[in-house]
Chain A
Amino acid sequence: MSESDPATPLRSAQDKADFKRQLTAVVPHLRAFARGLCGRPDMADDLVQETMLKAWAAQDRFEPGTSMRAWTFVILRNAYLTDMRRNRFRGEYDEGVAERILTAPAGQEEPIHLSDLHRALLTLPAERREALLLVGAGGFSYEEAAAICGCAVGTIKSRVGRARAALSEMLASGNIPQRSVDDATAHRAILEELDAVSGGYMGSPDDGDEDY
Chain B
Amino acid sequence: MASDGSNKFPRQAGSGTARRRGGAKAAPEWADGLKQLYDAVVEEDLPDQFLDLLAKLDEQEMPPQGRGGSSSSGQGDAR
A binding-site residues for B, Cβ under 8 Å: 16, 20, 23-24, 27-29, 31-33, 35-36, 45, 48-49, 52-53, 56, 101-102, 104-105, 108-114, 116-118, 121, 132-133, 136-139, 164-165, 167-168, 171-172, 174
Q: Which residue of B lies closest to A28 (CB)?
A: B42
B37–A31 touching, CB < 8 Å:
no
CA distance A121 to B33 in the complex (A): 11
Please tell me if B77 contacts chain A, counting CB pairs below 8 Å: no
CA distance A142 to B50 in the complex (A): 30
A31–B44 touching, CB < 8 Å:
yes
**Total A-B pairs, Cβ < 8 A:** 109
B61–A110 touching, CB < 8 Å:
no
Main secondary structure of the interface of A (DSSP, over half): helix
CA distance A46 to B1 in the complex (A): 31
B binding-site residues for A, Cβ under 8 Å: 1-2, 5-11, 13, 20, 24, 28-31, 33-44, 46-47, 49-51, 53-54, 57-58, 61
Across the A-B interface, give the 3 residue pairs with the lowest CB-CB distance, nearest first. A137-B38, A32-B41, A113-B8
CA distance A48 to B21 in the complex (A): 37
23 contacts between A and B (CB under 8 A): A20-B57, A24-B51, A27-B50, A28-B42, A28-B43, A31-B41, A32-B37, A45-B49, A52-B54, A52-B57, A56-B57, A105-B40, A109-B13, A110-B7, A114-B36, A114-B40, A121-B34, A133-B34, A137-B35, A164-B28, A168-B28, A168-B30, A174-B5
CA distance A104 to B36 in the complex (A): 9
